[in-house]
Amino acid sequence: MTGITLTAEQIRNAPAAVRQWIEQEVITSLGLAPRAPVTIPPQASHLVACSVEDVAGVLEHIRGVLPAVNVLLELGRPGISFGQPAVMTFRLMDILHHTRLPDIGGVMTCLEMINQALIEVKKDPSVRFCGFDNEGHCLIAPQTQASIATLWQTMMERQQAAQERAAVGRATPAA
């Protein structure tokens, strides 16, 4: 048997897949939960694949609630894709850590706001932006994750262009 020692910092900075593997190994080694095959919860089949326009509409609905905006943009990070149909998974604890919300309840409140905003954008009470499993993960459609990432990139490009225009304006002498 070989063992290794990792610092909390090393674990925190490890890729999400590595952190999840470590978590499962610790849980299994302590006998806290049997290792079950990975299954997609039934609610995942009701997730909507959101376009960039859909995500922009959701963002518009929640823009006054900064924690919800942070949670939405957090879902633009690469997640772990698995299952058929494929879903992207994000650990609720990672979302909590990255958004600096006080507790998981705050994360869940923000995710429910996002679900509600999508219902309003789509004008369909059956749609779901995200779902959850019993292991502390948030689930979204892969296209939704890609749309969030695209929207974020577009927002950053617009911000950079605006800053460049402002810098050129300040550098031009007045006549």
| Per-residue pLDDT tens digits for 72-98 | 999 999 988 888 888 999 999 999 999
Whole-angstrom Cα distance, residue 135 to residue 20? 11
Strand pairing category for 80-82 and 131-132: unpaired
Q: How far apart are CA 46 and CA 153, in angstroms?
A: 27
pLDDT in tens, 112-156: 999 999 999 999 999 999 999 888 999 999 999 999 999 999 999
Per-residue confidence (pLDDT) for residue 1, from 0 to 100: 61
Residue 155 CA to residue 162 CA, distance in Å, equals 11
Tell me which of 39-43, 51-55, 86-90, 155-159 is least confident.
39-43
Rounded Cα distance, 125 and 48, in Å: 12
Domain ranges of the chain: 40-158
Does the pTM surpass 0.85? The reply is no
User: What is the sign of the dihedral through the CA atoms of 164, 168, 169 and 170?
Assistant: positive
Cα distance between residue 85 and residue 88, in whole Å: 10
